[in-house]
Amino acid sequence: MVAMPGAFGESICGTVKVGAWHLALACFACADVAMKLSDNMIGAALMVASMAAYTVNDTLMKTLAGAVPLFQVIFLRGVLTTAAVAVIAWRMGAFSKRVSRRDSGAIALRVIGEVAGTYFFLTALYHMPLANVTAILQSLPLAITLVAALVLREPVGWKRITAVLAGFIGILMIVRPGAEGFNIYALYGLAAVGCITLRDLATRRLSRETSSMLVTFATSVTVMTVFGIASATGEWATLTGADWLTIVCAAILIVGGYLTSIMVVRVGEISFTAPFRYTAILWALLLGWLVFGDWPAPIVLVGAGIVVASGIFTLYREARLGRQKRPAPVLRPR
Query: Which of 74, 39, 59, 89 has the alpha carbon at shortest distance from 259?
Result: 89
pLDDT digits (tens, 9 = 90+) for 57-72: 999 999 999 899 999 9
Q: How far is CA 79 from the centre of its chain?
A: 22
Highest averaged pLDDT of the listed ranges 39-48, 120-129, 146-155, 161-170: 120-129
- Confirm whether 65 is domain-assigned: yes
- For the chain, the domain total comes to 1
pLDDT-derived band at 142, boundaries 50, 70, 90: confident
- Confirm whether 44 is domain-assigned: no
Which residues, 6+ apart, have CB-to-CB distance to 236 below 8 Å? 69, 72
- Confirm whether 28 is domain-assigned: no
- Confirm whether 334 is domain-assigned: no
Q: How far is CA 269 from the centre of its chain?
A: 15
3-state secondary structure of 63: helix
- Confirm whether 49 is domain-assigned: no
- Confirm whether 12 is domain-assigned: no
- Confirm whether 135 is domain-assigned: yes
- Confirm whether 35 is domain-assigned: no
pLDDT digits (tens, 9 = 90+) for 150-202: 777 777 777 888 888 898 898 888 887 755 556 789 999 999 999 999 988 88
**181 is in which domain, residue-wise?**
56-321
What is the average per-residue pLDDT within 74-100? 91
- What percent of the chain has pLDDT above 90? 40
Which strand (E) or helix (H) includes residue 260?
helix 241-266
Which parts of 93-218 are beta strand (E)?
none
Between residues 40 and 296, which one has the greater pLDDT?
296
How confident is the model at residue 21, as a pLDDT? 43
136-145, 212-221, 308-317 — which is least confidently predicted? 308-317
* Distance in angstroms (rounded) separating the CA atoms of residues 287 and 308: 19
Is the model's pLDDT at 29 over the cut of 70? Answer: no
* Distance in angstroms (rounded) separating the CA atoms of residues 115 and 188: 14
The amino acid present at 254, given as its one-letter code, is I
Which residues, 6+ apart, have CB-to-CB distance to 196 below 8 Å? 113, 114, 117, 121, 137, 140, 331, 333
